[in-house]
């Protein structure tokens, strides 16, 4: 009894203490119902007896928390293992140790995950964080039922072994722990291999280092004295990865498959001070830039990127050629893209003066050539590339006179003193100069001098006008939207938005995938916002989600609703937009106070211009797919602003398609949706046509309470009125005199709408042509009957 009492008291104390403080020094065995909670400050953890390693939650940027093991006595706190790198959990999540094992509970979703899978095993007595960095679950007599060493992430530690079928996955980037683009695996056939993966899948792409060994019972051993080698079943050494008599007494050691695809053996002096850091003892492959040669995938650095290797540098260097920029600032291995408008094929010959070459010595992209010439000289090679709109880069080999032309994307780019070849990268000149070179300046004929001067004058005047226009436009735009800048996209927390919307109280609208709420940003002078809460399954992959969100945020036009920010926390996916004080076009058109003719014209034109921007003018074409009056909002000057673009891409694609399907045939949905024909920008033109009819007639396309049944569907009714020259019948809804005396104008708008709603997408005009017709710069011809495909109207 006297023995038991203090024990249970102690246990009680522990339980009381648990949620509040680290239970650090109290004991080293983790007992049942111990738990840790992910919290903002401090990181409560379970340390190993020596304190060298710790197990607990680590906050990863704003993304959430990683349940991890790390080196706890160095200031980097380098993570060596983690349980949930593909699914970070949110603040308040817990890890609990019970008789069933280690259970991770995500506070955001409530989902529980078993970290340890000692399935079927009974008799778990304790868990312990060992001084080797191994987290174990053991029986009373210290048999390990489960250990983290058997489930490595990207790192192995001294005393750890890898058995056949074990794999290390590199993390995606320096700050993103997601399983990334490279793996190191001891295969079941006995081969020890480094592979690139077809990220985001885990399937292997190309091997860039291997031992080519065959057999069973093989192991990769990282032994106590810091040697890493492959052994056969009988213990004989088949290959050594790294061996240096660096004692684990004096040095921390680890071998990590880094996010750049290199497996490095690192050491860190234990007599640590702030200037200490991890230094590389050995690494494989010797040069990753040249090791990856397969033609699938982007290589070590991504498409169009250049890889350079430096034995001393901590990480492989990826860079973009001049005039190319990273596709994603946060992930340089996504590759590079042209930061200029590429040469147009329909104008290739007239545009040759606008392009030039950047020469990069000792550089090659070995793949992707579509033409080869030999023997030629460098000028010939350049000229050939210049005249060819497909050619983005040419590789010229001075020694052999080879010229390879390549189109983008190209992969495995490398720059290294032993590469034979010069890359000629075609770039657009910043200021395309006068095409005539100096030879042209020694003219003999006075006439040509005069012509030259004349031309220069014209060019000057034009330049002045262009600059004036650009400047003027710019001034206008920045005046209207002082906040807009794609990069200013804000990442909100769910709590912030919950507060801003007063607990999602005031609903502004509701759609198939989302509900929109009004909110007020206290932090931003009480600015009003519209918060769209996605209820459909969005992209699970945070990176893809963010990529789509940032694509949306880069659009900026006076006829689009600007995205201000977003929130993605677990299942909470929200987008934050400017608030539009005059509501939606639907309530304006079909509500009490109807717009006047002038307003309707402006709304029709504004909507067309917004669509034109999405289709033709932004960096990446966006098909809206859901143009309807509910998605066209009106700001305080009643300017039409298109909302909801790009959102379809945030969702899983099949969802959008099937839900659209349900909406019925006579809606805003173009007929090709129902015929599994390819969906092009013309679906938006179709929807726009229906909306245009609604705008000019001020009534819904489908009206059940119509006077008689041939008036129920506006598109059909309007076409009948048009054909029988009885347009005044269409204006019953409009008590605006201006419209009556403008029957001719109305006719023009109807004709444009009928062109837009043609069954055959190829007959419909582009939105650009629509805009020109609305503006009056292009005549509108007589449209065919929109409801007939096969029967040609008279
Ligand atoms: C943990 O518990 C086991 C069994 O109860 C015991 O053998 C072991 O010594 C304990 N370890 C520590 C560090 O207390
Ligand atoms: C490895 O996996 C293969 C099948 O994928 C299996 O046949 C083999 O037994 C496994 N080997 C070991 C050592 O687990
Ligand atoms: C580790 O492996 C190396 C190379 O096989 C060997 O020389 C050394 O003795 C080993 N150290 C231990 C502690 O097993
Ligand atoms: C151990 O196994 C390897 C490969 O399985 C073999 O090449 C070697 O001869 C064996 N050595 C001994 C001593 O059996
Ligand atoms: C072992 O590592 C030390 C640095 O820690 C280095 O100076 C030495 O050259 C290495 N020896 C071998 C054989 O690589
Ligand atoms: C810190 O360690 C480095 C070597 O690891 C040593 O050169 C330096 O003198 C140390 N600094 C202090 C202040 O101890
Ligand atoms: C990376 O490589 C590029 C091109 O070779 C070079 O300009 C740049 O300085 C390198 N960066 C580093 C950090 O080595």
- Helix and strand element counts for the chain (H, E): 14, 43
- Which ligand has the minimum distance to the alpha carbon of residue 219? 2
Ligand 5 within 6 A of CB of 246: yes
pTM exceeds 0.75 = no
- Which ligand has the minimum distance to the alpha carbon of residue 230? 3
Q: Which of 191, 232, 235, 237 to mutate to test the pocket of ligand 4 (most atoms within 8 A of CB)?
A: 232
CB-based pocket (< 6 A), ligand 7: 308, 313, 317, 319, 415
pLDDT of residue 603: 92
- Is residue 255 within 8 Å of 228, Cβ to Cβ? yes
Task: Looking at the structure, tell me whether residues 557 and 661 fall in a common domain.
Answer: no
Task: Looking at the structure, tell me whether residues 614 and 501 fall in a common domain.
Answer: no
Q: How far apart are CA 707 and CA 319, in angstroms?
A: 68
Q: How far is the CA of 106 from the centre of ligand 5 (A)?
A: 45
pLDDT of residue 452: 59
626, 635, 644, 684: the active-site residue: 626
Express each pLDDT in 557-568 by its tens digit: 889 998 888 888
- Which ligand has the minimum distance to the alpha carbon of residue 314? 7
Mean pLDDT, residues 106-123 taken together = 79
- The minimum-distance atom of ligand 2 relative to the CA of 163 is 13
Helix 682-697 with 714-723: angle, nearest 10 deg: 70
- The minimum-distance atom of ligand 6 relative to the CA of 273 is 1
Q: Which residues are documented as binding site for ATP?
A: 532
Q: Give the DSSP per-residue string, 48-83.
A: -TTSSEEEEEEEETTTEEEEEEEE-SSTT--EEEES
Ligand 6 within 6 A of CB of 342: no
Confidence of residue 530 (pLDDT cuts 50, 70, 90): very high
Q: Can you give the C-alpha Rg of the chain in angstroms? A: 33
* Residue 734, CB-side half-sphere exposure with 13 Å CA sphere: 28
736: domain CATH number? 1.10.510.10
- The minimum-distance atom of ligand 1 relative to the CA of 126 is 2
Q: How far apart are CA 713 and CA 733, in angstroms?
A: 15
Ligand 3 within 6 A of CB of 348: no
Q: How far apart are CA 136 and CA 144, in angstroms?
A: 6
Range of the domain at 449: 436-480
pLDDT of residue 252: 93
Express each pLDDT in 735-776 by its tens digit: 555 555 667 778 889 999 999 999 889 999 999 999 999 988
279: domain CATH number? 2.90.10.10
Taking residue 313's Cβ as centre, other Cβ atoms within 10 Å add up to 11
Q: Does residue 790 fall inside a structural domain?
A: no
Confidence of residue 264 (pLDDT cuts 50, 70, 90): very high
Q: Does residue 292 fall inside a structural domain?
A: no
Q: Three-class SS of residue 636?
A: coil
Q: How far is the CA of 281 from the centre of ligand 5 (A)?
A: 7
User: Over pLDDT 70: what percentage of the chain?
Assistant: 82
Q: How far is the CA of 275 from the centre of ligand 6 (A)?
A: 6
Q: How far apart are CA 727 and CA 709, in angstroms?
A: 18
Residue 667 above 90 pLDDT?
no
Q: Does residue 269 fall inside a structural domain?
A: yes
User: Over pLDDT 90: what percentage of the chain?
Assistant: 39
Strand arrangement of the beta sheet that strand 490-491 belongs to: 490-491, 563-569, 572-578, 527-534, 514-521, 507-510
Distances (CA, A) of 628 to 17, 40, 645, 770: 58, 44, 12, 17
pLDDT of residue 7: 36
Task: Looking at the structure, tell me whether residues 589 and 671 fall in a common domain.
Answer: yes
Ligand 1 within 6 A of CB of 477: no
Confidence of residue 648 (pLDDT cuts 50, 70, 90): low
Task: Looking at the structure, tell me whether residues 614 and 763 fall in a common domain.
Answer: yes
Q: How far apart are CA 742 and CA 733, in angstroms?
A: 15
Ligand 5 within 6 A of CB of 244: yes
* Atom 4 in ligand 5: residue holding the nearest Cα: 281
CB-based pocket (< 6 A), ligand 2: 163-165, 188
Task: Looking at the structure, tell me whether residues 263 and 220 fall in a common domain.
Answer: yes
Mean pLDDT, residues 13-39 taken together = 58
Q: How far apart are CA 232 and CA 252, in angstroms?
A: 27
Distances (CA, A) of 732 to 124, 699, 714, 749: 81, 10, 13, 17
Task: Looking at the structure, tell me whether residues 596 and 731 fall in a common domain.
Answer: yes
Mean pLDDT, residues 703-723 taken together = 81
Ligand 6 within 6 A of CB of 272: no
Task: Looking at the structure, tell me whether residues 595 and 725 fall in a common domain.
Answer: yes
Task: Looking at the structure, tell me whether residues 464 and 524 fall in a common domain.
Answer: no
Is 635 a known active-site residue? no
Q: Which of 310, 317, 318 to mutate to test the pocket of ligand 7 (most atoms within 8 A of CB)?
A: 317
Task: Looking at the structure, tell me whether residues 459 and 555 fall in a common domain.
Answer: no
pLDDT of residue 539: 64
For residue 391, say if its preceding peptide bond is cis, omega within 30 degrees of 0: no
Alpha helix positions (H), 698-736: 714-723
Q: Does residue 786 fall inside a structural domain?
A: no
Alpha helix positions (H), 481-591: 494-500, 542-553, 585-590
Query: Tell me, what DSSP letter sits at residue 613?
Result: I
Ligand 3 within 6 A of CB of 178: no
pLDDT of residue 478: 32
Mean pLDDT, residues 222-242 taken together = 93
Q: How far apart are CA 95 and CA 98, in angstroms?
A: 10
Q: How far apart are CA 55 and CA 36, in angstroms?
A: 10
Express each pLDDT in 616-637 by its tens digit: 888 778 888 889 998 899 988 8
CB contact set of 666 (below 8 Å; sequence gap of 6+)? 701, 702, 713, 715
Q: How far is the CA of 636 from the centre of ligand 6 (A)?
A: 65
Mean pLDDT, residues 170-186 taken together = 94
- For residue 67, the cross-strand partners are 57
- For residue 105, the cross-strand partners are 94, 112
On average, the pLDDT of the chain sits at 81
Q: How far apart are CA 344 and CA 428, in angstroms?
A: 11
Q: Three-class SS of residue 222?
A: strand
Ligand 4 within 6 A of CB of 231: no
CB contact set of 785 (below 8 Å; sequence gap of 6+)? 719, 723, 791, 792, 793
Ligand 5 within 6 A of CB of 281: yes
Instruction: Name the domain boundary from 152, 177, 208.
Output: 152
* Residue 326, CB-side half-sphere exposure with 13 Å CA sphere: 11
Q: Three-class SS of residue 587?
A: helix
Q: Give the DSSP per-residue string, 288-345.
A: HHHH---SSS--SS-TT-EEE--SSSSS-EEEPPTTEEES-TT-GGG-EEESSPPPPG
Q: How far apart are CA 348 and CA 449, in angstroms?
A: 29
More confident residue, 697 or 105: 105
Q: How far is the CA of 44 from the centre of ligand 1 (A)?
A: 22
Q: How far apart are CA 206 and CA 294, in angstroms?
A: 6
Which of 192-196, 413-417, 618-622, 683-687 shows the lowest mean pLDDT across its residues? 618-622
- Is residue 579 within 8 Å of 721, Cβ to Cβ? no
Instruction: Name the domain boundary from 535, 563, 578.
Output: 578
Confidence of residue 443 (pLDDT cuts 50, 70, 90): very low
Q: How far apart are CA 574 and CA 514, in angstroms?
A: 9
Q: Does residue 789 fall inside a structural domain?
A: no
- Is residue 108 within 8 Å of 134, Cβ to Cβ? no
Cα maximum dimension of the chain: 120
Ligand 6 within 6 A of CB of 275: yes
Q: How far is the CA of 193 from the centre of ligand 4 (A)?
A: 21
Q: Does residue 419 fall inside a structural domain?
A: yes
- Is residue 137 within 8 Å of 95, Cβ to Cβ? no
Q: How far apart are CA 9 and CA 12, in angstroms?
A: 5
Task: Looking at the structure, tell me whether residues 448 and 506 fall in a common domain.
Answer: no
The total domain count for the chain is 6
Q: How far apart are CA 472 and CA 774, in angstroms?
A: 24
Express each pLDDT in 463-501 by its tens digit: 555 555 544 443 333 333 223 334 467 888 888 898 899
Express each pLDDT in 778-791 by its tens digit: 889 999 988 765 33
Q: Which residues are documented as binding site?
A: 532
Q: What angle do CA 314, 335, 306 make, to 5 degrees?
A: 60
Q: Does residue 784 fall inside a structural domain?
A: no
- Which ligand has the minimum distance to the alpha carbon of residue 123? 1
Q: How far is the CA of 384 from the centre of ligand 5 (A)?
A: 51
Task: Looking at the structure, tell me whether residues 338 and 416 fall in a common domain.
Answer: yes
What's the burial of 169, exposed, middle or buried (CB within 10 Å: 0-12/13-18/19+)? Answer: buried
What's the burial of 107, exposed, middle or buried (CB within 10 Å: 0-12/13-18/19+)? Answer: middle
Q: How far is the CA of 332 from the centre of ligand 7 (A)?
A: 13
Task: Looking at the structure, tell me whether residues 139 and 30 fall in a common domain.
Answer: yes
* Atom 8 in ligand 4: residue holding the nearest Cα: 236
Ligand 3 within 6 A of CB of 227: yes
Taking residue 111's Cβ as centre, other Cβ atoms within 10 Å add up to 14
564: domain CATH number? 3.30.200.20
Q: Three-class SS of residue 458?
A: helix
Which of 62-76, 167-181, 334-348, 656-670 shows the lowest mean pLDDT across its residues? 656-670
Instruction: Name the domain boundary from 578, 595, 610.
Output: 578
372: domain CATH number? 3.50.4.10
Q: What is the dihedral of CA 442, 448, 454, 458, to 10 degrees?
A: -80
Strand arrangement of the beta sheet that strand 204-210 belongs to: 166-171, 179-186, 192-197, 204-210
Q: Does residue 791 fall inside a structural domain?
A: no
* Atom 6 in ligand 7: residue holding the nearest Cα: 319
């Amino acid at each position: 009894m006297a023995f038991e009492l203090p024990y249970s008291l102690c246990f009680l104390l522990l339980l009381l203490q648990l949620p509040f403080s680290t239970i650090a020094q109290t004991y080293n065995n983790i007992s049942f119902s111990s738990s840790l909670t992910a919290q903002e400050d401090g990181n409560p953890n379970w340390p190993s007896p020596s304190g060298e390693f710790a197990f607990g939650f680590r906050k990863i940027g704003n993304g959430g928390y990683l349940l991890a093991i790390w080196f706890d006595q160095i200031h980097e706190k380098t993570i060596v293992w983690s349980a949930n790198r593909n699914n970070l959990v949110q603040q308040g999540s817990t890890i609990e140790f019970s008789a069933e094992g280690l259970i991770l509970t995500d506070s955001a979703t409530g989902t529980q995950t078993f970290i340890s899978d000692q399935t079927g095993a009974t008799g778990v007595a304790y868990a312990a964080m060992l001084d080797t960095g191994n987290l174990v679950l053991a029986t009373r007599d210290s048999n390990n039922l489960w250990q983290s060493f058997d489930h490595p992430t990207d790192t192995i530690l001294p005393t750890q072994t890898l058995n056949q079928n074990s794999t290390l996955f590199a993390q995606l980037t320096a700050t993103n722990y997601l399983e990334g683009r490279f793996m190191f695996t001891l295969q079941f056939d006995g081969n020890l291999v480094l592979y690139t993966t077809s990220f985001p899948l885990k399937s292997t792409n190309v091997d860039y280092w291997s031992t080519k060994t065959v057999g069973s019972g093989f192991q990769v051993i990282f032994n106590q004295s810091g040697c890493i080698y492959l052994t056969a079943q009988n213990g004989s050494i088949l290959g050594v990865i790294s061996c240096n008599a660096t004692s684990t007494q004096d040095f921390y050691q680890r071998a990590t498959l880094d996010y750049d695809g290199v497996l490095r053996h690192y050491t860190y002096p234990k007599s640590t001070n702030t200037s200490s850091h991890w230094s590389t003892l050995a690494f494989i492959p010797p040069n990753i830039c040249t090791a990856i040669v397969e033609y699938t995938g982007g290589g070590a650095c991504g498409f169009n990127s250049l890889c350079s290797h430096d034995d001393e540098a901590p990480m492989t260097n990826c860079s973009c050629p001049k005039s190319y920029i990273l596709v994603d600032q946060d992930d340089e291995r996504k590759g590079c893209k042209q930061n200029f408008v590429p040469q147009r094929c329909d104008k290739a010959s007239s545009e040759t003066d606008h392009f030039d070459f950047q020469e990069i010595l000792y550089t090659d992209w070995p793949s992707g050539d579509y033409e080869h010439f030999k023997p030629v000289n460098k000028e010939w090679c350049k000229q050939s590339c210049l005249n060819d709109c497909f050619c983005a880069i040419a590789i010229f080999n001075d020694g052999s006179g080879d010229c390879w032309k390549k189109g983008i994307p190209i992969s495995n780019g490398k720059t290294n003193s032993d590469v034979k070849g010069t890359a000629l990268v075609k770039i657009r000149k910043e200021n395309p100069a006068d095409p005539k070179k100096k030879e042209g300046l020694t003219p003999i004929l006075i006439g040509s001098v005069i012509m030259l001067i004349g031309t220069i004058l014209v060019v000057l005047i034009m330049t002045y006008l262009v600059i004036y226009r650009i400047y003027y436009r710019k001034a206008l735009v920045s005046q209207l939207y002082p906040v807009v800048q794609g990069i200013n996209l804000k990442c909100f927390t769910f709590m912030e938005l919950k507060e801003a919307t007063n607990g999602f109280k005031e609903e502004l609208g509701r759609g198939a995938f989302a509900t929109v709420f009004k909110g007020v940003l206290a932090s931003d002078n009480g600015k009003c916002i519209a918060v769209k809460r996605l209820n459909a399954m969005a992209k699970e992959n945070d990176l893809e989600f963010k990529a789509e969100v940032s694509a949306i945020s880069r659009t900026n036009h006076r006829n689009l609703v600007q995205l201000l920010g977003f929130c993605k926390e677990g299942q909470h996916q929200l987008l934050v937009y400017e608030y539009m004080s005059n509501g939606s076009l639907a309530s304006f058109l079909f509500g009490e106070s109807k717009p006047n003719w002038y307003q309707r014209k402006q709304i029709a034109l504004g909507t067309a211009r917004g669509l034109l921007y999405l289709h033709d003018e932004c960096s990446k074409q966006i098909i809206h797919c859901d143009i309807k009056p509910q998605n066209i909002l009106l700001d305080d000057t009643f300017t039409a602003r298109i909302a909801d673009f790009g959102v379809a891409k945030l969702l899983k694609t099949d969802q959008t398609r099937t839900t659209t399907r349900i909406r019925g045939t006579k809606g805003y949905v173009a007929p090709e949706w129902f015929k599994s024909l390819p969906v092009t920008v013309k679906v938006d033109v179709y929807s726009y046509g229906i909306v245009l009819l609604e705008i000019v007639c001020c009534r819904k396309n489908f009206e059940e309470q119509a006077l008689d049944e041939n008036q129920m569907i506006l598109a059909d009714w309007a076409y009948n009125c048009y054909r029988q020259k009885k347009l005044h019948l269409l204006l019953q809804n409009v008590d605006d005199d201006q419209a009556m005396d403008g029957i001719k104008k109305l006719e023009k708008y109807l004709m444009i709408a009928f062109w837009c709603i043609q069954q055959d997408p190829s007959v419909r005009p582009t939105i650009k042509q629509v805009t020109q017709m609305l503006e009056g710069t292009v005549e509108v011809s007589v449209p065919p009957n929109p409801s007939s495909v096969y029967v040609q109207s008279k």
